[in-house]
Structure 1
Amino acid sequence: MAEAWRRRADEAMTTLARERGKALTGYAYLLTGNLRDAEDLVQDALIKTFVRRRSGLVLDNAEAYVRRAMLTTYIDGVRRARLWVDARHLLARSERAESHEAHVSDRTDVEAALRVLSPQQRTCVVLRYYDDLTVPEIADRLGLSDGTVKRYLSVAVHRLEGLLAAVEAPTVDVDILEGGRP
């Protein structure tokens, strides 16, 4: 029985990666702001979802599980990075910070604006406007209060409006974002 489930899980993962890989990468890209990090996030989420048998995993609707794993993995990574930044000075000398000007000039205005947001604000914006979740749904997913989510969204939208006011129609790589919602 376990062997049959493993075979079905492998087939489901392969099918999901082939048919919805671009949409999953687009979702991850909105969270991370970097294509290479997005691809890594998708791969990590696929492995976390399919590596062992889970009692609640329904193979026919595995994309929802993978998206949840992506969000959780991303949030955990941001928290880990923040802890490292706070403790780094104890272990190593600080080096000169790398300038992002060359990279930002190659990015669209929307990508640059999303990068200005804090990870919490960016996550809330992606969940609200890309996944089309309600404030209570976002709060539930992130383990925050509704008021905190509203505050993150309000600040983020206000900052995005200020940064993108002169932009008529932002251009985004359609191949990366192809697929949209499941």
Structure 2
Amino acid sequence: MTWEDDLGRLVHERGPALVAYAHLLTGEVHDAQDLVQDALVNAFSRRRPHDVDSLEGYVRRVILNAYLDTWRRRRRLDAVAHLVEAAGPGRDEHAAAADRADVAAALTVLSPRERACVVLRFYDDLTLPEVAHRLGISAGAVKRYLSDARRKLEPLLGPQPGLMTEDVATVANGGRR
């Protein structure tokens, strides 16, 4: 039997049980289905035992790990100061969604390096040296990319306190490219 046969058999015989298990974790059917699909892709991207019972246990473990990773990521992102202000009194969900869409659209005007620096610095809450290490560039280059990003984002989003020039010092002589 090939791995495709194993996958087909597992999905046919145990698919609903896997979705039910994921549903218990997520509380949402669509999220559960996505979680199971991701877990199956992850599990079958490597060679695993041929026994469907063993595969089901393995896939359940992958589902749990993926769910916990997502939960940790969300919890960490909730604690990070985002580019868009948090919804306060008088702000509705539609306005917050529009702000998120504005930020997503504004980020598309950045070069890949600028965008990576902004995301790592302000969404992943990494320090400048950590961003530099992650991208394999100098801290000065990170500062320059963040400064360039600020200059491009401010006309679209308005002044961004988290991207102030004092926080992102650049070369003393102006250093224009």
TM-score w.r.t. the length of structure 1 is: 0.45
Larger Rg: 1 or 2? 2
Higher RCO (C-alpha 8 Å, min separation 6)? 1
